[in-house]
Structure 1
Amino acid sequence: MSFDAAYEALTDHDDDARWAYGTGFADPLAGVDTAVPQDVDRGDLSAYCLALGDDALIMSHRLQQWVTRAPELEDELALANIALDLLGQARLLLSRAAEVEDAGRDEDALAYLRDAGDFRNVRLVERADADFAHLVARLLVFSTWRLALLDRLTASADPVLAAIGAKGVKEVTYHRDYAAQWVVRLGDGTEISHERMQAAIDAVTPLVAELFVPDQVELRLARAAVDPSTTRPEFDAVWAQVLTAATLRPPTAVVQANGDGGTGRDGVHTPALTEILAELQGVARSLPGGVW
C-alpha cells in the first residue's frame, strides 16, 4: 500500500505485521466471559494470577535492561519484543488478579505499590545476568517452563486464564526457540563461547528446582491452575535436547528450591528483587497518582 504521508503509514491499523511492536492492538480478551466460575475460589484465583503476572513483570524488566547491551541490533530488537510480550502478559494477569480480588486496586497498584515481600514471582526471574550466555540460558529455562504452563492453562476452568494461555503459547514458543538457538550457537561454537555457555548453564541450574514445586494455591485450584510439577518431564526433554545439540554437559549440582525455608511463591526473594523494584517503581512512587 502506498501512502501520501509517512504519518498515514504509521497510523494505519490494517498492516501491523510491518512493525516490530504493531500499532492497532486487538483486545486478546474480547468476547471472553470474565465471570469467575462458581466452583473457583476468588481469593485463590487472584493469588494465582498475581504470581504468574509477577513472573512475567520481573522477567520483562530484566530483559529490558539488555536493550543497547546485546551483541547485535537484531538481538536488541528481539529481546525488546520478548520483554514487551511478557509485559503484555503481566498486564493481563495483574488486571485479572485485581478484578477478581475486588479490593479497589488495579494493575498499576499491583505493579508499582507493593513491596518485595508481597511479590510472588519465582526467583529465577530476579537474577542479573553476567553476560549474554547467562541471559539466554536463563531465558531458555524460563520460556521452556512457562510454555508448558501456558499450554496447560488453555484448558483452565477460568475462561480468562484460558484465553491468556492461548495468546501466550504463541508468544513464548518464539521466546523458547530464540533462546535455544543461541544456546546451541554458543555451546557448539568456539572454545571460549562453549566455556561461557557451560558456565551459564551451571549457574542457572540451582534456580530450576523451585519452578516445579507446587504451592497450596496451585493445588487448591486444580481445575483453574496448573500443578507445575506435571510440567517437569516436558521441561527435561527440551532441556536435554538443547544441551545435546549444543555439546554441553548436563549440570550435576542442584540446590533444593526450598532449602532456605521458602520459595518465591512464599514471598522469599533475593536482594536483587528489591533493587529491581527500586528502578521499576521509582517514578510511580515519587509521583503518587501521576498519569502519563
Structure 2
Amino acid sequence: MTQFIGTGVALITPFNKDLSIDFDALERLVEHNIKNGTEYLVISGTTGESVTVTPNEKKELVKFISKVNNKRLPLVLGIGGNNTAAIINEIEATDFSDIDAILSVSPYYSKPTQEGIYQHFKAIAEVSPKPIILYNVPGRTASNVTPETTLRLARDFNNIIAVKEAGNNVHQYLELLRNKPKDFLVLSGDDDLALSVALAGGSGVISVIGQALPKDFSEMIRLGIKGNAKEAYKLHFKLMPITGLIFSENNPAGIKAVLNELKISDCYVRLPLVEATNKLKIDIAEALKVFV
C-alpha cells in the first residue's frame, strides 16, 4: 500500500469561539498540507478530538475534507473504540466513497487481553470494505497491543495493512520491523521517534506536528526512508524543540497553538481539554522563529 508510505497527518478539528467547526480554517489546513508535501490525511483521529465530535459532525468533516481534497491525497478515516459491535455498525453505515483506509484504535478503558484485542480487530476486518491501519497507543488506552498480536493480525487478515505504533517504545518498534510480513507497514505514531523508525525500516509516520510544518517534516521522513541519515537529522534537530513543546500540556492544545501562530486556525478546544497556557504559547512562538 504505497499510498501510505511517507507522512500522513492527524488533522485537528478547528473550532470557532462558540466551539462550532471552523470550516474556513479546516480548508486552509488541508491546502497547507497538500501544497507542502504531506502524503495523506487522517480524519477524526485522537488529534481531531474525535471523542467530542458528534456523529453528524464527523460526517460533515468527511464530506468537507473530501470536497477540498478533491482526490489529491489519500484519506484515512478514524473508526475505533471499545464497543466492537458499535464500530461494526458505524462501518456498515459509513459512505467510504472518498476514503482509502480506516485507522482503528485499540480498545481503550476496558483493558482486554491480547486475545480480546485480536478478536476485536478480527471482527472489524471481517466487515471492513477498506484496508485497516491498526492504532496502538497504550498511553491513552491503558492496554498495549504486543508485537505478537499485531503480527498475528497482519498475517491472518490481508486487509490489515499497517500499524500506527505509538507506544514510544523503541524495542517494540524493532520487534515489529524485525518480524513483520514483507508488505506490512510499520508507521510511527511518535513524532519524536519517527525518523529513527524510518531509518530502521519503517514506512513513515502519522504525525501531529507534520500538519503545521509539512514541508520540513515530510522531507525528513522521505530522507529517512531512503536511508539518508545525515541530511534527515539536520531537519530532525531543527524540529526537535517545537515537537517537544506541542506535547508538553495536552494534544491537540499544543498543535492548535502552533497553527494559531501560523495564522491557520484558532486555539479553541472542547472540554475536558483546555487550550494551551500563555507560557506555552510564548514558547511556541519563539520555537517557530527558525521556520520563518
TM-score by length of 1: 0.27
Which is greater in Rg? 1
Q: Tell me: higher relative CO, structure 1 or 2? Use CA pairs within 8 A at least 6 residues apart.
A: 1
TM-score by length of 2: 0.27
